[in-house]
Structure 1
Amino acid sequence: MRSLALLTLTFCTLAAPAAELELKSLGGEGAAQKRKYGPFVGVSVGESLSQTGDVKIGDKKFSLDDSDGAASFSIEVGKSWKMKRLPILASVDVEGTFMSTELKGRSADANQPAGGGRLATDTVAYQADMNSLFFNLNGTLALDLYRYRARIGKFAAGFRPYVGAGFGGGQVWYRNATAKSRAQFNNTGNNTASNTPFSVDEFINSWNWYAGVEWTWKDQYSIFAEYRDFHVGDLEELTNFASDGYLIGFRYRY
């Protein structure tokens, strides 16, 4: 009887660490597992795919060329929470984004010569560099596939599709703004343009929505790619401005 009790005690002593290790591998909340949630920081870079808006200089309306390739750079600081009963990861972050793009276009009658009410000094074309710095508060919902790693494998479980939206505000400023008169545009004279556009720097509101996918490895590190649609409030000479594009970046959770 004493031998049986001693054998049972020995088995339990050896089995306990193995059972604990197995529990952690199947989803126990060890220190490494917890690092997949909580505070995080991230950086990203990207460029625009298109931009739209309405331009008014003086009393005339102008087109806005659909220019792609505008650069952006972002830094984010936030925190994530996991839901207990659903495979959802919720995050809130504050993001600072610097963007640089080119604004250019012309009026519908730019090719028409002077005469019939059209003046040689009329502003008919414009160009300017627009830089901006925005700070947005964003909210994100992600599908937490890591819960199903036993079924789909650790590599596939590292992917995390997500959607989100945010709002905020920032400063817009213009540089290298130029304008062409009707005469200059049509090479019929050197008359200067009557109005020079984009001379006032402004503070405006902003909002955006986005969708992307993140892939994590070694608990703390992840890379992500997302599509983003970004809008700003009305400016003095530029209204309904919106830009869409992509971002790629890196996040660190601690």
Structure 2
Amino acid sequence: MRPLALFLVSLCALTASAAELELKSLGGGEGIAQKRKYGPYVGVSVGESISQDGNVKIGDRKFGLDDSDGAAIFSIEVGKSWKMKKVPLMMSVDVEGTFMSTQLSGKSKDATQPTGGSRLATDTVAYNADMNSLFFNLNGTFALDLYRYRARIGKFAAGFRPYIGAGLGGGQVWYRNATAKSRAQYNGTGTDAASSTPFSVDEFINSWNWYAGLEWTWKDQYSVFFEYRDFHYGDLEELTNFASDGYLVGFRYRY
């Protein structure tokens, strides 16, 4: 009986040891998943503007800015996330490069008025220009971490992560294909071609933005997101109080 008892004791010890190793292995796997879910990440996104607003100055004349949608937005981000222990929140900090391309156009309120008095046929009354910009911003984001409640709401619902954030930075702005029309040209009574280069700005300015979005993750490290963003430029010599809002859709990878 003693050899049999010794064998059973040894077998139980081996089984307990194997179970302990398995639990440690599972715990390590969860740790890796946590690191992926809350660690460094990269992301790419594309979108377009919904509206824009601002003031334009050409020479000594001031113009409004036509609201224009459909401007292209491209973005690349690199950052890192941290989870908070006592509250279901996740904080992220990233550096983002954003390229935007839009069109500036507008006319004066008296563009169609006949010449005479203070209204001259040579007065500039309309303008058009393609504007490109490249900005680099430092962004901070707070997200609601539903992953903590996956046992109650399920893995699919726990993958959603609503967030808000804001950022500061700066970048370069430049214009292409800029033209201006005189009163005679705008009304079809002038034969000269529209004058070129009413804008000559090519400079570095500051920027700031705020945003809100919804991200959905799967397999720990992969996620897609939809984001609304409001972007503001610092003042230029010919363009002041410029702001543009739009949306972005993108992909993030955490590693």
Runs of 4+ more than 6 Å apart: 192-195
Residue 120 (1) aligns with residue 124 (2): no
1:232 positional shift: 0.4
Paired with 1:71 and 1:38, the residues of 2 have a C-alpha distance of 30
Equivalent runs, 1:59-138 vs 2, <5 Å: 59-138=60-139
TM-score of the pair, normalised by structure 1? 0.91
Q: In structure 1, list runs of 5 or more residues that go unmatched.
A: none
Mean CA deviation greater in 164-173 or 81-90: 81-90
Equivalent runs, 1:101-250 vs 2, <5 Å: 101-190=102-191, 196-250=197-251
Equivalent runs, 1:16-31 vs 2, <5 Å: 16=20, 24=27, 29-31=30-32
Would the aligned equivalents of 1:90 and 1:140 in 2 still touch at CA under 8 Å? yes
**Equivalent AA in structure 2 for residue 228 of structure 1:** R
1:98 positional shift: 0.4
1:192 positional shift: 6.4
Would the aligned equivalents of 2:179 and 2:194 in 1 still touch at CA under 8 Å? no
* Secondary structure, counterpart of 1:189 in structure 2: coil
Aligned length in residues: 251
Mean CA deviation greater in 162-171 or 197-206: 197-206
Would the aligned equivalents of 1:58 and 1:195 in 2 still touch at CA under 8 Å? no
TM-score of the pair, normalised by structure 2? 0.91
1:16 positional shift: 3.5
Would the aligned equivalents of 1:92 and 1:137 in 2 still touch at CA under 8 Å? yes
Paired with 1:235 and 1:70, the residues of 2 have a C-alpha distance of 20
Identity of aligned residues (%): 79
Cα 1:80/1:87, change in 2 over 3 Å: same
**Equivalent AA in structure 2 for residue 124 of structure 1:** V
Would the aligned equivalents of 2:230 and 2:243 in 1 still touch at CA under 8 Å? yes
1:85 positional shift: 1.1
Matched with 2:16 is 12
Cα 1:28/1:143, change in 2 over 3 Å: farther
Paired with 1:124 and 1:149, the residues of 2 have a C-alpha distance of 61
Q: In structure 2, list runs of 5 or more residues that go unmatched.
A: none
Cα 1:120/1:191, change in 2 over 3 Å: farther
* Secondary structure, counterpart of 2:157 in structure 1: helix
Paired with 1:142 and 1:119, the residues of 2 have a C-alpha distance of 57
Paired with 2:220 and 2:93, the residues of 1 have a C-alpha distance of 19
Matched with 2:47 is 46
Q: Deviations over 1:134-188 (max 9, x none)?
A: 0000000011111111111111111111000001000000000011100011111
1:31 positional shift: 1.3
* Secondary structure, counterpart of 1:30 in structure 2: helix
